[in-house]
Structures are given as structure tokens and as C-alpha cells.
Amino acid sequence: MLPVPGSNHQVLVIDDFMPAPDKLIDYAVAPQQPPSESPVYPGLRAPVPPGYLKYAIATINRAFQHEKFTARVSDGEAYFAMVTRAADELTLEQSIPHFDRPLLNEYAVVHYLCSPAFGGTSFYRYKPTAQVAITRPGLQAYQQNLAQHLKTYPAERGYINGDTPLFERVLQVPCEFNRAVIYPCALLHSGDIAKRFIADLNPYTARFTVTAFLR
């Protein structure tokens, strides 16, 4: 478990997350349901193999128990995910840290099936209010505060990878092949993607992951 500085939240990292991870990539490139674009994710998504989610949930629950962490997960959804959007094509929302859902009892998972050269995952603090997590009680206030501050400090369109006038990186988890990063969905975070990122549509050589949301 890695503590998120300035909070009581933690991030779980599991290496060697899945057996035979190369076969997951083989599955992704075999004729399956075609990938689809997401209005939020800057790239393509596609279904994972049957059984992936069940295995992931069991592995994460064992790790939670080993770390004496009281959380448990029992359900969710998972997708192959591949970043394909150029930095200058990003929306404003994709150019700043985001939270997946305003819930601390649901968990996001990023399972890396790519080279460490593609960068890992970073977690951020919103400087004006010192928040690292956005939950339902503070959601509207955060959105209003952010909108106001973006008028003074407009976000540069592109992938965030470090400190900005409004956000401070407080924790960075490097990418390793077959590493999974598990964290509460409410944490502000972003992938560490180079500003000069060049899209690659080959899952064997691209920034290729599995993204899951568990509850």
C-alpha cells in the first residue's frame, strides 16, 4: 500500500497481476467485438476475456486482506484500453486530473500491458482547496471552484504530467508490464503521458492497459 500524501487514502500496487499476460494481448488482437471510442477516455476500449474480472477481484481481495485493509470488492466491469488521441485533440476535461466516480468505496484498476516507457499513473492535489479526492458532498463546490480558477489559470490542452498552477502531483506510480494499480475512484489522478505522445494502434507496442471499476 502506498499512502497518498496529505490524506488518509492509499493506493495498492500488485506486480505480476495476471498469469500469462501476453495472452491477454493475443486475445485483444484476435477477431472479437470491434473496439469503440469513449466520450471520456482518450482512446479505444474493447471487452476483456471471460473470467478476467473474476480473477482480478479474487486477487485484489487477497491483497486487501494481506495488507489488513478492510475493503472488499465483489463486482464491476473491465475493458481493454488503448490511448490513441493526440495531445492537441484532448478536451479540457482530459487535460487536467480527473476522478472516475465521487465514491471512496468503489475502486479503479489500471492493469498495465505495455512498456514502462509509456509512463504510469499520478495522483494530484487540487491546490486551491487541498483536495486529493472528490466525493459527493463536495462535488458541486469543487466543480464551481475549478471553473472559477480555470478562468484565471486556463489549462493547457494536452496530457498533464506534473505540476500546474492548479494541481500538484503528490504520488507517482511507475508503469511496469503486468502491474496493477488499484485506488479509490474519488482520487484525482491522470496517466503519465508524454506531451509529444504519438498514437500507436498496435496493442503489442502501444500504451495498452486494462481499466476496471470495482465495487
Mean pLDDT of 138-167: 94
Higher-pLDDT residue of 39 and 74 is 74
Q: What is the C-alpha to C-alpha distance for residues 161 and 159, in angstroms, rounded to an integer?
A: 6
DSSP lists the bridge partners of residue 80 as 46, 210
The proportion of the chain whose per-residue pLDDT surpasses 70, expressed as a percent, equals 98
Cβ-contact 182, 209 below 8 angstroms: no
pLDDT at res. 204 = 94
Greater model confidence, 85 or 102 = 102
Domains of the chain, each with CATH number or no CATH: 2-214 (2.60.120)
pLDDT confidence band for 165 (50 / 70 / 90)? very high
Cell 479505444 found at = 44
Average pLDDT over residues 120-144: 96
Cell numbers for 158: 494536452
pLDDT tens by residue, 171-188: 999 999 999 999 999 999
Q: Which residues pair with 10 in a beta bridge?
A: 3
Q: Give the confidence band of 33 by pLDDT, cuts at 50, 70, 90.
A: low
Would you say residue 34 has pLDDT above 90?
Answer: no
Read off the pLDDT of each residue in 43-56 and give the average, rounded to a whole number. 94
Give the mean pLDDT of the chain: 94
C-alpha cell at 199: 498514437
Longest pairwise C-alpha distance within the chain: 49
147, HSE (Cβ side, Cα atoms, 13 Å):
6
Other CB atoms within 10 Å distance of the CB of residue 195: 12
Read off the pLDDT of each residue in 19-30 and give the average, rounded to a whole number: 94
Gyration radius (Cα) of the chain, Å: 17
